[in-house]
Amino acid sequence: MIIAIVAVDNKMGIARNNKIPWYIPKDLKYFRKKTMGHPIIMGYNTYLAIKKPLPGRKNWVYTTKKIPGFSVFNSIEDILDKYIYKDIFVIGGAKTYEQWMPYIDKIILTSINKDFDCDKFFPMFNKEFELSYKSHQYSDNEQQYHYEHWTRRQSASATN
């Protein structure tokens, strides 16, 4: 299963100036719990933002450049062939989410109740996915947020 995991503001923003404009420690723990032990896919700009491999996960960067400590790929099919029976997490950024969207089976979304004036956005997806879970409201570091899980409608899958 291919899973996008993302935090968005109330306008679906994910970054401003290639940085995440919020800091929510409990959500970072949630991200770690969900992705631990699984391969993660990121674009080059996301790699530049985190600068080091996330421990406990196989870190893949979508690029043709060699990057110490990271595995690289330049074809979505290469990754799909490697992990056909394993969950893969797509962790950003905007272009990577967009390129992978036809293959994504599930979206784990943290919805933050604030506008952060972002310049990068998560692609629109509502017609292809249905809401399968919505948490109650949480608060951390003066931010209000909740979790949503979206599952691809069976007829909308590119891999079926």
Domains and CATH numbers, the chain: 2-6+18-86+94-110+122-147 (3.40.430.10)
Whole-model pTM: value is 0.93
In the chain, where does DSSP find H-type helix?
25-35, 44-50, 76-82, 94-100
Q: Indicate the range of 8-22, 24-38, 53-67, 78-92 predicted with least confidence.
A: 78-92
The mean pLDDT value for 102-122 works out to: 97
Residue 130 has pLDDT above 70, yes or no: yes
pLDDT at 158: 52
Residue 50 has pLDDT above 50, yes or no: yes
Is the Cβ–Cβ distance between 29 and 132 less than 8 Å?
no
Q: Please list, in sequence order, all residues whose beta carbon lies within 8 angstroms of the beta carbon of residue 75, skipping any fewer than 6 positions away.
A: none
> Cβ atoms within 10 A of the Cβ of 83, count?
17
* Distance (Å) of CA 38 to CA 2, 120, 128: 11, 25, 25
Q: Please list, in sequence order, all residues whose beta carbon lies within 8 angstroms of the beta carbon of residue 51, skipping any fewer than 6 positions away.
A: none
Closest CA to 83 of 57, 45, 63: 57
